[in-house]
Amino acid sequence: MEATLLSPRLLARLERLQLVTRRRLAGGLAGEHRSPRHGSSLDFADFREYYPGDDLRRIDLNALARLDRLLVKLFDAEDELTLRLLVDTSASMSGPKLKRAAELAAALGFCALVRRDVVSVHTFPLDRPGPRFRGRSAAVGLFRHLDALEAGGDTPLVAAADRLLGQPGPPGMTVVFSDLLTAEWDAGIRRLPARRGELAVVHVLEPTDLEPDLSGDLELVDAETGARLEVSLTASVLADYRTLAHRWADDVAGRVRATGGTYVRVSSTDDLEKLLLGTARDQGLVR
């Protein structure tokens, strides 16, 4: 499989992961998430490799005896998950942050595609439906789309949330990848879990967002608005900034979790594999 965002070694490890959902989410059929619809016939659909944590009752004993392989039966009464990836492409995400957001979106999208879920990608502004991907073979197209994203403009998070929620389809799961460097981050987060859907926020920051390495008399320019501000960054001013910045990041985490969502804070300089196989697991985004 062609992939520039993710290495073949990492993709092989991601095949064992699954997105965590706390609710039963109705979608289409032929996915691998428990259906809320009762009384459906369990029609056999396909096999896949057994992964640790799968229901042992789904193992096909005939295949085990004949092929010496652990294969799990899939049934059409299991719902697919509709996964919406909302990637912040505002100017403040330019550079390493957008690349890290694209990598993480590609990884979570791949986890969904190999489990036969539907994946859609949305960026700012949401003035048109995002492209949809389905099935393992669509992973290359997903990677190419994410790899081609460019940053620019502001962060219309509230408008994006309203448009995303206004689109037809099941509630599914929405994962936001953003630095949330906007005054409306709180209002946007509060809107997103509507329609009984799942919400996860992957808070993508650079180390200098929380720990700036600047000092002296400077003119700062807002990457999105172009506004200019002359400042004198003394040691005490920097100490106050660091305190407020960390408090803000903690407030974001608290707000997301208060809405019932999953929060994962990542740095653009963190090791990607450790983020996906360690941090994302520890925070309950994947298992």
What confidence tens digit (pLDDT) does each residue in 231-279 have? Answer: 999 999 999 999 999 999 999 999 999 999 999 999 999 999 999 999 9
d(CA 50, CA 56): 9
Same domain, 63 and 170: no
pLDDT at residue 40 in the model: 41
Same domain, 182 and 278: yes
Same domain, 41 and 101: no
d(CA 69, CA 246): 49
Burial (CB < 10 A; 0-12, 13-18, 19+), residue 58, is middle
Domain that holds residue 56: 21-75
Same domain, 41 and 111: no
d(CA 180, CA 75): 40
Structural domain includes residue 16? no
pLDDT of 25 higher than 50: no
pLDDT at residue 94 in the model: 96
Name, in order, each residue with C-beta under 8 angstroms of 232's C-beta and a sequence gap of 6 or more.
216, 217, 218
Same domain, 183 and 151: yes
**pLDDT tens-digit profile of 32-90?**
544 444 334 455 556 666 655 566 777 888 878 888 888 777 654 455 688 999 999 99
Structural domain includes residue 260? yes
pLDDT at residue 26 in the model: 42
Structural domain includes residue 111? yes
